[in-house]
Amino acid sequence: MKTIGLIGGMSWESSLEYYRLINEFVKSNLGGLHSAKSIMYSVDFDEIEKLQHKNQWKKASRILVKAGIGLEKAGADLIILCTNTMHKVAGDIEKNVNIPFIHIADATAEKIKKNRVKTIGLLGTKFTMEEDFYKGRLEKKHQLQVIIPTSTERQVVHDIIYEELCLGKIKNSSKNKFLKIIHGLEKKGAEGIILGCTEITLLVQQKDTKTKLFDTTKIHAEFAALSAISDFTVGVE
């Protein structure tokens, strides 16, 4: 079994979900007492968040590159970054490690294409919804048509993520705002919605809407877990 290196802490609530989902996947596929081999490097999200909003991405990148190098030195066989937004600096991490880096947008796009969806709505931080590192990757590399909310709606989504979800606050009023935005994207032609922030699943789940949701946390975690056990053969216990 390969060892998964996780760069976490952005936020710790979503990193907890990653750990749970990875281990549940391994257990359900291998049975018995099996669990995932993993190493987590958890950063201080307050430091990262301040750098994000000051547009100091190079400083934030150095922190995550250090985490990636540390995971490789600690024995990780592959790396995942447990956040959507910080994939803005994913290329820097990839350049500085010698082990595979599993990009969250690529894992999500593969899942979308398997569901034969071509037009997809995207929710996440303003960075994720508006910038080329994520939306552009889906469009250019995977030939998906991506629809995002209006400017006002993007601000609402962004604020709920940082001011509530990243602090562990779950409000029904915010859930209703998200569902309204989701249904608006569907009316614009979206065949499904990417929950493109690892905290959104804490607020909105598939049971809350008939619109097909693509939970990036679950997709990314299970893709990593499958990669870790793909060559694993269960021996005699």
Residues 75 and 167 in one domain: no
Domain span at residue 19 reads 4-103+220-229
Task: Note whether residue 97 is domain-resident.
Answer: yes
pLDDT of residue 232: 66
Over residues 190-219, mean pLDDT: 93
CATH number at residue 9: 3.40.50.1860
Residues 121 and 55 in one domain: no
Task: Note whether residue 236 is domain-resident.
Answer: no
Task: Note whether residue 46 is domain-resident.
Answer: yes
Q: Which residues are catalytic?
A: 83, 197
Task: Note whether residue 234 is domain-resident.
Answer: no
Residues 10 and 21 in one domain: yes
Task: Note whether residue 48 is domain-resident.
Answer: yes
Residues 119 and 44 in one domain: no
> d(Cα 124, Cα 33) in Å, to the nearest integer?
36
Residues 124 and 193 in one domain: yes
Residues 160 and 210 in one domain: yes
Helix H or strand E encompassing 228: helix 216-229
pLDDT of residue 235: 39
Mean pLDDT of all residues belonging to the chain: 93
Residues 210 and 132 in one domain: yes
- Asked if pLDDT for residue 102 goes beyond 80, the answer is yes
Residues 122 and 38 in one domain: no
- Asked if pLDDT for residue 212 goes beyond 80, the answer is yes
Residues 116 and 131 in one domain: yes
Residues 137 and 77 in one domain: no
- Asked if pLDDT for residue 234 goes beyond 80, the answer is no
The model's pLDDT over 32-81, given as tens digits with 9 standing for 90+, comes to 999 999 999 999 999 999 999 899 999 999 999 999 999 999 999 999 99
Which range has the worst mean pLDDT, 31-40, 71-80, 82-91, 196-205? 196-205
Specify whether the CB–CB gap between 208 and 175 falls below 8 A.
yes
Task: Note whether residue 145 is domain-resident.
Answer: yes
Task: Note whether residue 211 is domain-resident.
Answer: yes
Task: Please report the DSSP string for 50-119 in residue order.
Answer: HHHHTT-HHHHHHHHHHHHHHHHHHT-SEEEES-SGGGGGHHHHHHH-SS-EE-HHHHHHHHHHHTT--E
Residues 11 and 72 in one domain: yes
Task: Note whether residue 235 is domain-resident.
Answer: no
Over residues 101-120, mean pLDDT: 96
Looking at the chain, the whole-number percentage of residues with pLDDT higher than 90 is: 89
The domain total for the chain is 2
Residues 133 and 67 in one domain: no
111-146 core/surface letters (b: 16 or more CB in 10 A; e: else): bbeeeebeebbbbbbbbbbeeebbbebbeeebebeb
> d(Cα 57, Cα 52) in Å, to the nearest integer?
6
**pTM given for the model:** 0.89
Both tokens of residue 139? 């469009």
